[in-house]
A and B are shown apart, each in its own frame.
Chain A
Amino acid sequence: MANQQTLLSPAELAYLHSSLSLSPPIRPDGRTAKQFRPLTAETGILPGTNGSARVCLADGTEAIVGVKAEIEKTVDPLGGEHYQEYVKSASGAGGGDAEEDKRGARGEWLEMTVEIPGLRDDDAGTVFLAELLREALLADGEFAKKLWINRRFHWRLYLDIILISPPLSYPLPLLSLTTHLALLSTRLPRLKSEGDEDPMFDDDWEASPFLYPRQGAAAGSRPPITLLVVAVGDSILFDPSKEELAVADSALAVSLCEVRTQKGDESMEVDSGRELRLVSMRTVDPPSRLTPPGVPSTGNFAASGTFDPSSQKKQQQQQQRVEEYPQEGVWKAPLGGTRFAVLDSIIRAVLEKGGVADEVLDGLEGVDLS
């Protein structure tokens, strides 16, 4: 994102990079490598929506997510009138198996928009964020099934994400957590009609079931969360601030969902049954590639004060070398990609049992859902 440029000098960038590469890393705000910034969250703030949430990070960034649902007629891909009947007869069984029918659920039923102040809503960066969050939600294929009503109708879910404050850091974790909470608080009216007739719904909002049920067999399943992790040198940092992103060697957005393993006895081990599963990841272009480079004093004639033509060749060679190899204490934007070993250690750190993801999920569980 081009507007993410920070106003740090090359010397500051180099200092920050080297202090973050230490073991343990020293972060500008004093956090440990795996510590998240504190946040305040509330859900159900907008009665006019099916579900909503608001999250404020301690640095002042704030996001609001609202979920709205509409009923839509399912259009079959072939455009024919009798497709559904045709499929029904083709499946032979008389169409009793709802699970089988739900296979027709499609990811297009979820529409997601991200609104960031100062950016156009069709800006590539905004679209990238929206697609990233959408992909994580749909990756396991279970989400679209929740929107299925019957063979002829489905819910269309609109998820609007608004960042209230100007983006002070890459807003991905914030938006992801807000979306998570909004979906947890989302309710859809209870269906009264049966089978394939036109859907009729219960007027009583109190009776409406949650999109992610809290009771019964399916209880405990929750929407995925997306974490942003950066690698600086050998250290892996979670929830990077803007300054930390500006010196990151690589940034990876990792989405994971929580799978509750159903054990024989439901009453025990409710919490220990959590198992984290990777659903999607994407590398994010680190803004560090756009930071201004520093000039080493060996290559700076103004600093050395002399210009000796005889040493010109030597200096050229030196310059060549400087271009190829980074020098200690001189900032240079990272070049090339990331070794897979680094990416892999990021993924391991995310998926680690009792690690950051667990901590974040535990924190989110503590949010009072209304």
Chain B
Amino acid sequence: MPLDTSTYSLALLRIDGRRWNDLRRLHAQIHTQDAADGSSYLEMGHTKVMCVVTGPAEPQAGQKKGTVGSAQATGQKEGASIVVNVVVAGFSSVDRKRRGRNDRRIQEMEITIQKALAANLHTHLFPHSTITVSLHVLSQDGSLLAALINATTLAVIDAGIPMTDYITACTAGSTSSYAAGDDAADPLLDLNTQEEQELPYLTVGTLGDSDKVAVLVCESRVQVSRLEGMLVVGVDGCKQVRRLLDGIVKQKGRKMIKEGAVRRSDMMAVSLDD
């Protein structure tokens, strides 16, 4: 048990030394790749993901038929359709495990992200086009879906696709398992793999600074009475994440303005270095 009740109740510290409402270190970069329309790199603790956004572009011949293993919005003739591809690298987890593109869990994440984007991007501005979001998971240590959503938000901002607000996500859990039946269990913020395996948790994504929930995924069994607490902590975590992401975007913007006089090609070389 990672949260051996004795240790946690004594010091109120988790195995990685965090308190219940601490986020892990969040580090992100925006515009990491020159060739892409939008790109980002995001670390939440040891979870590392990269995102590349292509488009809005004319749909490719192959994509119309529905490429294998991609979530796709169909029937959106008047707006841009959004295609999300998640590739989980074989070396991303501790034990190497190869996941095909038809893996159910991956498909579910693709659909979740695609739906969240479809609701919040102004796709009606780009009729008859496709926005392709490809996500690469380089290393996973919990909160994978949350990291993917945050990376997607950054990359979409980098691509300059208009959206209503930031979609930020994080996970929230509860300090004791369902079986313990402990109604006084504290909620936890931003779980790592070990905690995810042992404890009930949910992934929540909110829209900007509001309390509007854009994504909510809970796959574990948990008492209803605990759910509210978890959700509140999760939404609060999302606001923290939003502040961090906003800082990154603003920092990048400031840098771009500072270098505004520089030619575009030179700017690219600079952004590669950092």
Contact = CB atoms under 8 A, between A and B. Distances in A.
Is any CB of A less than 8 Å from a CB of B in the complex? yes
Interface of A: 3, 40, 45-49, 52, 56, 58-62, 64, 66-68, 70, 113, 115, 117-118, 120-121, 158, 160, 162, 164-166, 168
- The prevalent SS among residues of B at the interface is loop
B33 A164 contact: yes
Contacts of A52: 91
Contacts of B138: 45-46, 64, 66
12 contacts: A3-B62, A46-B91, A64-B50, A66-B138, A67-B91, A117-B52, A117-B134, A158-B96, A160-B89, A166-B35, A166-B52, A168-B35
A48 B46 contact: yes
Given A48-B139, A162-B136, A121 B91 contact: no
B91 A49 contact: yes
Contacts of A121: 100-101
A318 to B, nearest CB: 35
B34 interface: yes
A64 B136 contact: yes
Nearest to B36: A165
Interface string B12-48: 0000000000000000000001111000000000101
B89 A60 contact: no
A164 B137 CA distance: 10
B35 A160 contact: no
A121 B91 CA distance: 16
Nearest to A60: B35
Contacts of B98: 113
Contacts of A158: 90-91, 96
A61 B36 CA distance: 9
B54 A166 contact: yes
A253 to B, nearest CB: 23
B272 to A, nearest CB: 6
Contact of B68 (A67, A120, A160): A120
A160 B90 contact: yes
A58 B91 CA distance: 26
Nearest to B61: A3
B85 interface: yes
A56 B33 contact: yes
B74 to A, nearest CB: 19
A117 B85 contact: yes
B91 A48 contact: yes
B69 to A, nearest CB: 8
Contacts, number: 81
Contacts of B33: 56, 60, 62, 164-165
A122 to B, nearest CB: 9
Nearest to B269: A58
Contact of B67 (A58, A118, A165, A168): A118
Contacts of B62: 3, 118
A165 B87 CA distance: 12
A66 B52 contact: no
Contacts of A47: 46, 139
A58 B85 CA distance: 25
Contacts of A66: 89-92, 138
Contact of B136 (A3, A67, A164): A164
A68 B50 contact: no
Given A48-B93, A62-B35, A113-B98, 11 more contacts: A40-B272, A40-B273, A56-B33, A58-B34, A61-B35, A64-B138, A68-B90, A120-B101, A121-B101, A164-B52, A164-B136
B240 to A, nearest CB: 25
A67 B96 CA distance: 10
B94 interface: yes
Nearest to B96: A68
Interface string B94-119: 11101011000000000000000000
Contacts of A60: 33-36
B67 A117 contact: no
B35 A59 contact: yes
B97 to A, nearest CB: 10
B89 to A, nearest CB: 6
A164 B138 CA distance: 11
For A46, A48, A66, A117, which residue has the most chain B Cβ atoms within 10 angstroms?
A48
A59 B36 CA distance: 10
Given A3-B62, A66-B138, A118-B67, A165 B52 contact: yes
B217 to A, nearest CB: 24
Interface string B52-88: 1010000000100001100000000000000001010
A75 to B, nearest CB: 19
A64 B41 CA distance: 13
B136 A68 contact: no
Contacts of B34: 56, 58-60
A161 to B, nearest CB: 9
B96 A70 contact: yes
Contacts of B93: 48
B36 A162 contact: no
